[in-house]
Amino acid sequence: MTTQQLQTIIDLIRYGASRFNAAGLTFGHSYDNALDEATHLTLHALHLPHDLSPVYGQARVTEAEKEDVLELFIRRIEERTPVAYLTGEAWFAGLSFKSDPRALVPRSPIAELIEGGFEPWLGGRDVHRALDLCTGSGCIALAMAHYNPEWHVDGVDLSDDALALAAENEKRLLVRNARFLKSDLFSALQGEHYDLIVSNPPYVTNAETDALPREYAHEPELGLRAGDDGLDLVLRILRDAPLHLTDDGVLVCEVGEAEHALTALLPELPLMWVEFKVGQMGVFVVERHDLVTHNARIRVLADARG
């Protein structure tokens, strides 16, 4: 089939998916397959909603519209740019976020926890204040604030660029119960206490970061690289979280594949690993009192990282 034969929305989607698979693209930034990426790019270029009914698949496109779609396909293949950066938008927890290279593309499984009210992990306890460490685009903080308007939510990050993007997303979503602060983890949060701390910190090992596909090179390395075992920041979070959690507070943290290294380092720490709809994805829940109990060992490990 030549591109002249592409006439309908479904033609373009099928063509894009085929080209993406043939080009050996890497997926994982919001979408995990070629068909979904081709669909998203096509609908974006045609200024159609992302949840357009399949009945419109046979709708014919103009030549100018086709050119717009094919241009995005070419950029995706040649530049290896993630779809969210091509469209400037990423969906997270059912919400539309602005996405660009100032922060990682929103894609954490923590979205499922947010939409489920963090149950059963909160056990019905009240949350008045929540913290999102390493907030990036602000997606976790703003989704928590959106779905829980009675909460006060702080989001912190070390990157000025990421914080600027988070502020833009705050305005985009009309959130009124969140604030963003510059902080190296807890360093600027002296005296602040939270009922719930959530974090999706950098947890990719040095070796894995160096070997990542080209798509990831468009994202800030600050949001990915985390030492030889991926735990440089996670250990600091585990060490310092008790100082900022209320007495019955809870920490939720994503560590991805670094789960294995963490459980090997701290086998005695009772981490509860979350089972998502698609299975376990390296997210744990831990109670403040357990972090206090094991703080001496955690501190030794964290302090050794410098």
SS3 labels along 68-86: HHHHHHHHHHHHCCCHHHH
pLDDT at residue 2 is higher than 80:
no
pLDDT at residue 1 is higher than 80:
no
pLDDT at position 214: 93
The DSSP symbol for 213 reads -
Lowest mean pLDDT among 51-55, 169-173, 259-263: 51-55
Place of tokens 């735990």: 231
d(CA 142, CA 146): 6
pLDDT at position 86: 96
pLDDT at position 3: 80
d(CA 154, CA 192): 10
User: How far apart, in Å, are the Cα atoms of 50 and each of 22, 47, 53, 161, 196?
Assistant: 24, 9, 9, 27, 32
d(CA 12, CA 42): 7
> Sorting pLDDT into bands at 50, 70 and 90, what band is 279?
confident
> Sorting pLDDT into bands at 50, 70 and 90, what band is 92?
very high
pLDDT digits (tens, 9 = 90+) for 184-207: 999 999 999 999 999 999 999 999
pLDDT at position 31: 84
pLDDT digits (tens, 9 = 90+) for 22-71: 999 999 887 889 999 999 999 999 999 988 999 999 999 999 999 999 99
What is the three-class DSSP state of 144?
A: helix
pLDDT at position 192: 97
Q: Length of the chain, please?
A: 306
Place of tokens 């050794």: 304
User: How far apart, in Å, are the Cα atoms of 107 and each of 56, 61, 247?
Assistant: 28, 31, 31
Q: What is the pTM of this model?
A: 0.94
pLDDT at position 184: 97
pLDDT at position 32: 87
Place of tokens 């290279």: 101
pLDDT at position 29: 84
pLDDT at residue 306 is higher than 80:
no
Report the 10 Å Cβ neighbour count for 8: 14
pLDDT at position 169: 98
pLDDT digits (tens, 9 = 90+) for 220-256: 998 999 999 999 999 999 999 999 999 999 999 999 9
